[in-house]
């Protein structure tokens, strides 16, 4: 550093508050969990869909809802150079609904099943388990009205968590009614809250006027105590919603799934109708909701699309990885050590050959001595080292060192490829010391 050069400002070298890096050791767990999730969703007939990270702000205002905390307080919104109001997606459902309408996917035979894994953005107060950029795995089914699908979606979430060895899982369910029965319930809530208006926090006082259902989401102890005496939505459901809820429950029971009806589970998004659910775990500390979702039968119509019902859930991957134990496979790889300039070029050619055969291969251009290269290979956790020197080039035969047995093996590249491929898929094929070679 020249004497005049100043170290960069501290903030320049720190990830923005509420965001975090996923470093290679951790990324392996993410890859493993994501692979399990993708395979699991595909088993149920879901297919991946990918949409842009940002959308028109209006999409979320209209979908997620003007009275939701996400829209009121948490959106990353900016005006782009063309003067348009843009928002980094705080959730995924509006984007999928938009894509279905835009590409007229609703013309395909229903149901449509989609999944997606990617980052979301909310200007929330950062704390453990709550970030400003976080990741979700989402699934959505469009055009399936039967409560059997509500139960299947929950069963899919539950069996995924079992595959990922998440313990202490609890399923919470509720019904938030529909546009036919909810207005009466909201009025009943308003009446109950109005008498105690002054006792609520300012946020909840606003909610009494805008959407009293939201009061159930308040974290303030006093508001929670007051809300505990509110009438329950499960007592005000219309026939259709009550039947749907009963059907949902009986299908959950057919799967043998244990659940708890939580009549105050309204979830923070405006578009839900009928079923809502959450999966929580007793092992995740304060932020214990791993995933949440529900039915949103009115959203497509709200956007000016067809009358198409839908249900889905979003699972938070940061929270999942706090409690999941995805299996990561120990990868076996080859390290190529070379001695001299000529050998460096030969090593590069061999590396290309091995990689073209899907054999993971490391080659570093540091011109270290042989001993240093072998010790580096060992430290990196390589399974084998290949030694390339002048003699080997002349004889066109290479020495492969197996770190687990300490044995050396000399062969040409055709035999080496065969051997490494066998070894990579079924370790242990190599004879141990004193045994005959194949």
Residues in touch with ligand AMP (CB under 6 A): 91, 122, 124, 129-131, 134, 136, 268, 289-292, 314, 316, 318-319
Minimum distance, C-beta of residue 125 to ligand AMP, in the bound complex (Å): 9
Which tokens hold the place of 304?
């000016």
Start-to-end CA span in the chain (Å): 58
Nearer to ligand AMP, 271 or 384 (CB): 271
Nearer to ligand AMP, 131 or 398 (CB): 131
Q: How far apart are CA 398 and CA 400, in angstroms?
A: 6
Query: Closest Cα to residue 362, out of 407, 341, 332?
Result: 332
Nearer to ligand AMP, 90 or 389 (CB): 90
Minimum distance, C-beta of residue 291 to ligand AMP, in the bound complex (Å): 5
Query: What is the SS3 assignment for the chain?
Result: CCCCCCCCCHHHHCCCCCCCCCCHHHHHHHHHHHHHHHHHHHHCCCEECCCCCEEEHHHHHHHCCCCCHHHHHHCEEEECCCCCEEEECCCCHHHHHHHHHHCCHHHCCCCEEEEEEEEEECCCCCECCECCEEEEEEEEEECCCCHHHHHHHHHHHHHHHHHCCCCCEEEEEEECCCCCCHHHHHHHHHHHHHCCHHHCCHHHHHHHHHCHHHHHHCCCHHHHHHHCCCCCHHHCCCHHHHHHHHHHHHHHHHCCCCEEECCCCCCCCCCCEEEEEEEEECCCCCCCEEEEEEECCCHHHHCCCCCCCEEEEEEEHHHHHHHCCCCCCCCCCEEEEECCHHHHHHHHHHHHHHHHCCCCEECCCCCCCHHHHHHHHHHHCCCEEEEECHHHHHHCCEEEEECCCCCEEEECHHHHHHHHHHHHHCCCCCCCCCCCCC
Minimum distance, C-beta of residue 163 to ligand AMP, in the bound complex (Å): 17
Nearer to ligand AMP, 136 or 373 (CB): 136
Minimum distance, C-beta of residue 407 to ligand AMP, in the bound complex (Å): 49
Minimum distance, C-beta of residue 122 to ligand AMP, in the bound complex (Å): 5
Nearer to ligand AMP, 93 or 234 (CB): 93
Minimum distance, C-beta of residue 40 to ligand AMP, in the bound complex (Å): 17
Nearer to ligand AMP, 316 or 389 (CB): 316
Nearer to ligand AMP, 296 or 398 (CB): 296
Nearer to ligand AMP, 137 or 387 (CB): 137
Minimum distance, C-beta of residue 31 to ligand AMP, in the bound complex (Å): 19
Q: Which residue is nearest to ligand AMP (CB)?
A: 316
Nearer to ligand AMP, 91 or 140 (CB): 91
Nearer to ligand AMP, 70 or 363 (CB): 70
Strand-pairing partners, residue 289, are 280
Minimum distance, C-beta of residue 424 to ligand AMP, in the bound complex (Å): 36
Minimum distance, C-beta of residue 319 to ligand AMP, in the bound complex (Å): 4
Minimum distance, C-beta of residue 366 to ligand AMP, in the bound complex (Å): 41
Q: How far apart are CA 191 and CA 205, in angstroms?
A: 13
């Amino acid at each position: 550093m020249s004497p005049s050069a100043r170290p960069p400002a501290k903030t320049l070298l720190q990830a923005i508050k509420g965001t975090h890096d996923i470093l290679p050791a951790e990324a392996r767990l993410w890859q493993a969990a994501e692979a399990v999730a993708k395979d699991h969703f595909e088993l149920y007939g879901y297919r991946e869909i990918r949409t842009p990270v940002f959308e028109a702000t209006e999409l979320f205002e209209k979908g997620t809802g003007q009275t939701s905390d996400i829209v009121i307080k948490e959106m990353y919104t900016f005006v782009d150079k063309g003067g348009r109001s843009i928002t980094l997606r705080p959730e995924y459902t509006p984007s999928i609904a938009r894509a279905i309408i835009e590409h007229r996917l609703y013309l395909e035979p229903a149901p449509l099943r989609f999944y997606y894994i990617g980052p979301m953005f909310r200007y929330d107060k950062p704390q453990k388990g709550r970030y400003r950029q976080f990741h979700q795995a989402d699934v959505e089914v469009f055009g399936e009205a039967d409560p059997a699908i509500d139960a299947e979606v929950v069963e899919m979430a539950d069996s995924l968590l079992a595959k990922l060895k998440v313990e202490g899982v609890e399923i919470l369910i509720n019904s938030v009614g529909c546009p036919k029965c909810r207005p009466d319930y909201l009025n009943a809530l308003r009446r109950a809250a109005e008498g105690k208006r002054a006792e609520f926090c300012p946020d909840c006082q606003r909610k009494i006027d805008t959407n009293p259902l939201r009061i159930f989401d308040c974290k303030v102890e006093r508001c929670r105590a007051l809300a505990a005496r509110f009438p329950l939505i499960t007592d005000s459901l219309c026939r259709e919603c009550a039947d749907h809820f009963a059907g949902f429950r009986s299908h959950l029971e057919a799967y043998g799934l244990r659940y708890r009806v939580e009549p105050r589970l309204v979830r923070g998004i405006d578009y839900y109708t009928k079923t809502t659910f959450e999966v929580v775990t007793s092992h995740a500390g304060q932020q214990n909701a791993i995933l949440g979702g529900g039915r949103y039968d009115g959203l497509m119509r709200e956007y000016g699309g067809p009358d198409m019902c839908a249900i889905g859930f979003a699972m938070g991957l940061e929270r999942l990885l706090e409690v999941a134990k995805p299996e990561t496979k120990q990868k076996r790889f080859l390290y190529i050590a070379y001695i001299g300039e000529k050998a460096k070029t030969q090593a590069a050619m061999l590396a290309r050959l091995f990689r073209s055969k899907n054999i993971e291969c490391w080659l570093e251009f540091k011109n270290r001595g042989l001993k240093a290269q072998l010790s580096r290979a060992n430290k990196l956790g390589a399974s084998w080292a290949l030694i390339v020197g002048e003699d080997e080039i002349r004889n066109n035969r290479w020495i492969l060192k197996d770190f687990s047995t300490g044995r050396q093996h000399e062969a040409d590249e055709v035999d080496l490829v065969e051997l490494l491929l066998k070894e990579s898929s079924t370790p242990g094929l190599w004879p141990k010391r004193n045994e005959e070679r194949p």
